[in-house]
A and B are shown apart, each in its own frame.
Chain A
Amino acid sequence: MKRKYYVILYIVFAVVFIQSCSKFEPIAPAEDEILDGPIEGLNFGQSRQFLAGDVAFNDEIFTSQTGLGSVFVATSCGSCHAGDGKGTPFTTLTRFGQIDSTGNQFLHLGGPQLQNRALPGYTPEQIPAGAKFSKFTPPANTGLGFIELVSDGDILAMADPTDANGDGISGVPNYEYLPAFVQPFFNATPRNGKYIHRFGKKASAYNLLHQTVNAYNQDIGITSTFNPKDVFSGNNIDPEVSDLTVHNVVFYLQTLKAPIQRNQNDAEVLQGKKLFSQIKCASCHMPQLTTGISPIAALSNRTFFPYTDLLLHDMGSALDDGYTEGSAKTFEWRTPPLWGLGLSPNSQGGQYFLMHDGRAKSIEEAIQLHGGEALQSKNNFTQLSQADKNALLKFLKSL
């Protein structure tokens, strides 16, 4: 019976497919094309904690049932930090109310962060009259475990508050008091009870725990034992995220791999890298830093390439929004790491939104917006030949 063969064929087909099925599945993007994923060298236990943090960060969507709001900015960490990359105007948040180191004068009116969205049936906040504000576009979250482990000593060595070397670039740390739930690092170098903060656009978060607790609280309206104050009512309420989850998320951030450079041996990229130092970009965007000792072996004593000095710089009046945090001036911004820069469009909907508020739509535009201490460096860039500019941009995109 010939018909049999059809059925047999069908079964054989099925078996063949079952045997070789993963070959028919989409392949993974190259490791250097994506930002997410753990650092190498985690043990099994650490990998599990990384995964638990990954789920909390990317998949845990808060709803009114689980504590979202009643006023909020977004519904999960991953909503703003898609693929652990930079954000867009949609995920940009607004802070207001502080103009100098005397602190935020608008805390009683909802400061520092504008809760610009609300659950149905509630009204979001508005920027109070007279309050200065600034918009913050989410940065990438990668390689932060390395950055957390740069010693205060190393940061201070890069600072040059009086411009002793006369290159027009100073750089100061943001000193602030620690919130009660944050423990200082064993090798911290405090000054008058204030500690060097390093995370965020104004370097106003001390470590990843500090940043994470604030993010839950200010970005999603989620209280924790670390910060039980509800942004909507101003009252202390029950925790809406567990300590364990917070620690898992912190661990996840600490062990997210650093972005991997692409085409690093390309001649043009190498030429661009040289120019980057020559025209003094590297004076702020420090190519190389080292970590200290960490209980996570894979992070201990490593050299890494973030292109930042973690210091605040005067960036000129065009970038001065009149708002600030900690001891930073309104015109001072922390040098952002440039690693992962070339992958930004993959999380920004195919475009670039650079600088603190995403106002620059290309790398070149971002450079042109540099002023203040970076003015000379920017002018150097403008004077480059087109070929050199292209090489520099190609280098930046390879990061």
Chain B
Amino acid sequence: MKKSIPILLLSFCFYTNVKAQIDPALLKTQPKDSVKNALNMDAVYNRPFIGIGKSPVSLGGYVEVNWQHLGTDGVSDGHQFQFRRLTLFVASTISKRIKFLSEIEFEPAEKEIGIEFAAVDIEFHPLLNLRGGMIMNPIGAFNQNHDGPKWEFTDRPISATQMLPATWSNVGFGLFGKQFNKQWMFGYELYVSSGFDNSIIDNSENKTFLPAAKANTERFEEMASGTPLLTGKIAVRHNKAGELGLSYMGGIYNKWQDDGIVIDDKRRLDVFAIDFNTTIPKANTFITAEWAWVKVNTPSTYTEQYGNKQQGGFIDVVQPIIKRNIFGWKDAVINIALRAEYVDWNVGKFKTTGTNKGEDIWSIMPAISFRPTSQIVFRLNYRYQQQKDILANPPAKTGGFNFGISTYF
């Protein structure tokens, strides 16, 4: 895909004028390409915004709708029409080098309006920016860079939503920065924020499930453990080789004291993730992949149903096959794509038998997508997946089609 002008502009600013890293003009640019030319950490601002006259406020957003027809072991759910989400961005430049961005998500099926992101960024130096507010913990790349229109698949990766908590946001503060050097880019982020709670090992999923903590809105007021969750990420990008990110998130997750009285041991949660993306020159094949490991300290007297180790990830390969004027859209693109993904929610062996604990899933998803412009995608996916229960009994097999539209507006 061709880099669009705004992206070039963006990169240009980053390259040449360090002072102008936060440039109000950026927020007013017209449609932005979803090309992966900045770091994943730039994704919050790397979106199409619409400026309103001379006002410092700009608006944007995206929407995702789809149809699906999936069945498991001969039981079909039939036709399902799903309004996944509508997300609004509001950004404003408060002053020179101070800007604010918020991302508000409506998920009607969850009856949920969520503030995914609402933070103020103050730039002291390109390598030293302060961010505070509702932040998105940068664990892996998906959490940072999850806008529907950027992906060729209607479903988010299983490892990102069912193992790592996708769009996991918390109240917190932190620092981030970036450095450029010819072909190289380097970025870091480091935050302290509110965090998890006991629900990750005590939930109706019957497995260790980090996303369970998303349901706990108390974390926006009071943190279960009273100790901050630390999230850090470093990323390097070489313009030819691609971007590599290493991230960590960890802290004490459980409520171990109440009213000054100790009621439990302190137990930690640690998550490591590695992500990579690149575009193979000439062929223009885009590859993005992420793998994460989760370690949760659970008491040995608790049930093995809730595992203390997890791992999983995904790889997407996207190959543009046609790029030309279609119906008057100058740079329309048709891609074929493939996602392979895997999650093991309970790594390890049973104490009683020494046999492997199941609770794993793999899925493979070929896709074809049509992008009249880079901001909108029509995508057709076929999913085939196998999921095993904890006892590693014969897997439940699921398969079927998804068709979806996702677009920035």
A→B interface (CB under 8 Å): 3-4, 6-7, 10, 13-14, 17-18, 21-22, 24-29, 60-61, 63-65, 68, 72, 74-76, 79, 82-83, 88-90, 92, 117-124, 346-351
Are the CB atoms of A350 and B401 closer together than 8 Å? no
Known: A92-B352, A120-B299, A349-B353. 4 other contacts (CB 8 A): A24-B401, A26-B73, A60-B204, A74-B303
Nearest-neighbour CB distance to chain B for A115, whole angstroms, equals 10
- In Å, the complex CA distance between A186 and B355 comes to 47
9 smallest beta-carbon distances between A and B, as pairs? A28-B74, A25-B71, A89-B352, A121-B264, A26-B397, A21-B69, A349-B391, A61-B206, A3-B326
- In Å, the complex CA distance between A20 and B202 comes to 41
- In Å, the complex CA distance between A24 and B366 comes to 13
Nearest-neighbour CB distance to chain A for B374, whole angstroms, equals 17
Are the CB atoms of B393 and A25 closer together than 8 Å? no
Contacts of B355 in A (CB 8 A): 349, 351
What are 29 pairs between A and B in contact, CB < 8 Å? Answer: A3-B326, A6-B334, A7-B327, A10-B370, A13-B380, A18-B69, A24-B400, A24-B401, A25-B74, A25-B399, A26-B397, A26-B399, A27-B73, A27-B74, A61-B204, A61-B206, A63-B199, A63-B204, A72-B303, A74-B305, A79-B206, A88-B352, A88-B391, A117-B302, A120-B299, A121-B299, A347-B391, A349-B391, A350-B392
Nearest-neighbour CB distance to chain A for B287, whole angstroms, equals 23
Of all chain B residues, which has the CB nearest A353? B353
Contacts of A21 in B (CB 8 A): 69, 400-401
Of all chain A residues, which has the CB nearest B297? A120
- Over the window 315-327 of chain B, the binary record of Cβ atoms lying under 8 Å from chain A Cβ atoms (1 yes, 0 no) is 0000000101111
- In Å, the complex CA distance between A53 and B214 comes to 29
Contacts of A76 in B (CB 8 A): 206
User: How many A-B pairs with Cβ below 8 Å?
Assistant: 147
Contacts of A4 in B (CB 8 A): 326-327
Are the CB atoms of A26 and B72 closer together than 8 Å? yes
Contacts of A29 in B (CB 8 A): 73-74
Q: Say whether B103 faces chain A, with CB atoms less than 8 Å apart.
A: no
- In Å, the complex CA distance between A123 and B79 comes to 48
Contacts of B75 in A (CB 8 A): 28
Contacts of B390 in A (CB 8 A): 79, 90
- In Å, the complex CA distance between A21 and B397 comes to 16
- Over the window 64-98 of chain B, the binary record of Cβ atoms lying under 8 Å from chain A Cβ atoms (1 yes, 0 no) is 00010111111110010000000000000000000
Are the CB atoms of A6 and B302 closer together than 8 Å? no
Q: Say whether B286 faces chain A, with CB atoms less than 8 Å apart.
A: no
Q: Name the interface size band of chain B.
A: 35 or more
Q: Say whether B254 faces chain A, with CB atoms less than 8 Å apart.
A: yes
- In Å, the complex CA distance between A72 and B305 comes to 13
Are the CB atoms of A79 and B305 closer together than 8 Å? yes
- Over the window 164-206 of chain B, the binary record of Cβ atoms lying under 8 Å from chain A Cβ atoms (1 yes, 0 no) is 0000000000000000000000000000000000110111111
- In Å, the complex CA distance between A88 and B354 comes to 12
- In Å, the complex CA distance between A76 and B389 comes to 14
- For chain B residues 304-344, which have a beta carbon within 8 Å of chain A? 304-305, 322, 324-327, 332, 334
Nearest-neighbour CB distance to chain A for B393, whole angstroms, equals 6
Q: Say whether B15 faces chain A, with CB atoms less than 8 Å apart.
A: no
Residue of A13, A24, A348 near B391 (CB, 8 A) is: A348
Are the CB atoms of A6 and B69 closer together than 8 Å? no
- In Å, the complex CA distance between A145 and B75 comes to 25
- In Å, the complex CA distance between A140 and B195 comes to 41
Are the CB atoms of B74 and A64 closer together than 8 Å? no
Nearest-neighbour CB distance to chain A for B324, whole angstroms, equals 6
